[in-house]
Structure 1
Amino acid sequence: MELLQAFQFELMPTGEQTRKMRQFAGACRFVYNKALAVQRENHEDGGKFIGKFAMKKLFTGWRNSAETPWLADSPRHPCDESILDLDRAFQNFFVKRADFPRFKRKGERDSFRYPDQKQIKLDRENGRISLPKLGYLRYRNSRVVLGEVRSATVSLRAGKWYVSILTKREVAQPVPQGPAVGIDVGVARFATLSDGSFIAPLASFRKHEQRLAKYQRRMARKVKGSSNWKKAKARVQRIHARIANARNDFLHKASNTISKNHAMVAVEDLQVRNMSKSAKGSAEAPGRNVRAKSGLNKSILDQGWGEFRRQLEYKVAWRGGYFVAVDPKNTSRTCSCCGHVSADNRKTQALFACVSCGHEDNADHVGALNILAAGHAVIAYGGMAQSGRSTKQEPAEGARAPVGILAKFRAGRMPNDE
């Protein structure tokens, strides 16, 4: 089995290397924006979409132009990768997976990528990596890099430079370990498992919210673009980075523990973007309970449900297990004992009391049990292949099991038996 894995480290560059990395990131940003501008002008003139190979030929002209001689000082391959990134953004737009590509701004996700493994030299013992036109850069060698180096991405975040080293290696076909589990995510409890255990939320944004607001007010009082404004902005960026790092560490630990100990993981197919939409409305049709909905949206986004699902998906695949996404409809309103579905079953946010059989339990635990049962039903429908072959696995079309069939499934009657 072929395994692709990225290892990220903080770089410790010299002053000259830092200057060059900023220059290279700026060159890649310029190429991306220039190509996007060409595509827009070409579209307005009625021309056809310019493919990536034709765009690379245009880039050769920009690189040799007397107007942009500094482009020749930057490595060629990272600039080519910017053109490929733009082409990928347009392809996602054409199939309606993303919005129309936007211009990049300085200081936002500055990065560049070296795709040629022959140009990358990794000195694992001494914690150094050699990149074209940068030479050897030291990095904080916090873990062993396994496998053959495929590419390297250099990025800037909150004033610090990082390198992400993508590797490939062959591993034995993993054997899934442990029982199946259903997971219900929430705000009061980050994740409730069908075995009765739960993971308390970290709420990293809430912990730093007041401190972040304090320094945002200080930045707002500065003259935009001044030296003091830049210092205040750097402080705000560091707080945001600390919040993101804490959340990411929490999600990795939680997803790693679950994927190690369970052979099948079933989660709800939640549309987080729709769940966290603003309730403000418009002047003609103003929304209701806007303040309460705003607080709920902040709590939802602070949990990182989408990233948690993404990490679970590929980590379960790495360990040869099954990952199933089920329809979230009525998972917290269906009795896990008798299968009765009613909104009255959910007495409060935390208490579930079935109006039919009288069964009482924690509402999130009941939801996790229903999610697990729906996951088994999805597999019974033949909508899921064993993971490990791909990190992106979705149930086959029409394979999302409705909660209404769960009572039959619990009774031992398979859908194909009828």
Structure 2
Amino acid sequence: MLNLTYNYKLQPTAKQIEIIEHNLNVCRSVWNHALYVRKLWYNSRSCEINKCSLKSEYIVEPFEYPNYHTQSAELTKVKKTNEFLRSGNAQAMQQTLRKLDRAFNDMKAKGMGFPRYKKNLKSFNLIGKLSLDGNCLKMPLLKSIKLRKSRDIPDGFKIKQVQIIKKASGYYANLMIDLDVNVPSPVPHGHAVGIDVGIQSMIATSDGLILPRLSFFR
């Protein structure tokens, strides 16, 4: 599988800008609340018994670790009674939860920092029926939005995901495209050479090559 990312500048209408901004706010709320629930879970299990208050200590109701699947199910349930969440795009909110889940996985596996609350969200992702029709990008949320088509997508590639990004200079779209092809692994060629860096000679290799030390200050 060959994966590429192409970036285009969008030319949205006033109505489309309103839709983008609204979904950025909705996804920001989803991110912050999901992060709050996860922090609550961590804090409820991080207090050592010899450091708890002698008078009183708030004990969180026991619940399982809030991973992507549990928070996704909770989001679906809450949307039925929350008008603000129901007005947002379902795919964008689900992808926001996936992004938060990846952030926690990176924190555990790669030693990345603890995820932070978002004062302003700059992007959200969409999946589904995505295609380019001339100078227009077709997607579930914005139907058809104009863009500056700086380059064509190579033949055979399909759009799998789009990231809508807000910058100071405008709105952009990152198109994640892929091609179902087997990419061969690089084949080693030549032979290995050992290199030693010394004082009398600058470099000495296992093949017998010796490079003399250079005198730069003479």
Pairwise same-fold verdict (TM > 0.5): yes
Q: Secondary structure at the match of 2:66?
A: coil
Judging by fraction of residues, say which structure has more helix: 1
Structure-1 residue corresponding to 2:214: none
Matched with 2:215 is none
| Residue 63 of structure 1, CA deviation | 1.6
Amino acid at match of 1:93: M
Give the Å deviation of 1:62. 2.7
Q: Distance in 1 between matches of 2:66 and 2:181?
A: 40
Give the counterpart of 1:411 among 203, 208, 218: 208
**Secondary structure, aligned partner of 1:122:** strand
1: CA distance between counterparts of 2:160 and 2:149? 18
- Whether 2:75 is the aligned partner of 1:59: answer yes
Sort the Cα spacing of 1:28 and 1:410 in 2 relative to 1 into closer, same or farther, 3 A.
farther
CA distance in 1, matches of 2:146, 2:187: 37
Higher relative contact order at CA 8 Å, sep ≥6: structure 1 or structure 2? 2
* Structure 2 residue 136 is matched with structure 1 residue 339: no
Query: Residue 158 of structure 1 aligns with which residue?
Result: 168
* Counterpart AA for 2:197: G
Gaps of 5+ in 1: 175-316, 323-335, 342-355, 360-405, 413-418
Which of 91, 95, 100 is the aligned partner of 2:109? 95
Q: Could you list the runs of 4 or more consecutive aligned residues of structure 1 that deviate by over 2 angstroms after TM superposition?
A: 42-49, 170-174, 406-412
Higher strand share: 2
CA separation in 2, counterparts of 1:76 and 1:173?
A: 34
In structure 2, the CA distance between the partners of 1:173 and 1:72, relative to structure 1 (3 Å rule), is closer
Cα distance per residue 1:313-338 (max 9 Å; x no partner): xxxx8xx588xxxxxxxxxxxxx8x8
**Shift of residue 339 of structure 1?**
3.0
**Alignment correspondent of 1:115:** 127
Distance 1:58 1:128 in 2: 35
Contact 2:2 2:183 (8 Å CA) reproduced:
no
> Map of 1:8-407 to 2, 5 A cutoff?
8-46=7-45, 47=62, 48-65=64-81, 68-106=82-120, 110-116=122-128, 119-123=129-133, 126-146=134-154, 147-170=157-180, 339-341=197-199, 356-357=200-201, 407=204
Residues paired across the two proteins, number: 184
Identity of aligned residues (%): 21
Distance 2:159 2:22 in 1: 25
Q: What's the offset of the Cα at 1:18?
A: 0.4
Query: SS where residue 407 of structure 1 aligns?
Result: strand
* TM-score (norm. length: structure 1): 0.41
Distance 2:2 2:159 in 1: 12
SS of the counterpart of 2:175? strand
Post-superposition offset of 1:158: 1.2
Matched position secondary structure for 1:154: strand
Equivalent residue, structure 2, for 1:269: none
Which AA in structure 2 matches 1:143?
A: R
What are the Cα deviations for residues 243-301 of structure 1, in whole angstroms up to 9, with x where unaligned?
xxxxxxxxxxxxxxxxxxxxxxxxxxxxxxxxxxxxxxxxxxxxxxxxxxxxxxxxxxx
- Measure how far apart 1:154 and its partner are: 0.6
**C-alpha spacing 1:321/1:76, structure 2 compared with 1 (3 Å):** farther
Letter in 2 for 1:86: L
Q: Which sections of structure 2, spanning at least 5 residues, go unmatched?
A: 46-61, 189-194, 210-218
Amino acid at match of 1:79: M
Query: 2: distance between equivalents of 1:62 and 1:95?
Result: 31
Question: Aligned partners of 1:12, 1:151: CA distance in 2, in Å?
Answer: 19
User: Cα deviation per residue 1:41-89 (whole Å; 9 max; x = unaligned)?
Assistant: 1222335521211110111133222xx4121121101100111111111
Whole-Å Cα distance in 2 between the matches of residues 88 and 173 of structure 1?
Answer: 26
SS at match of 1:30: helix
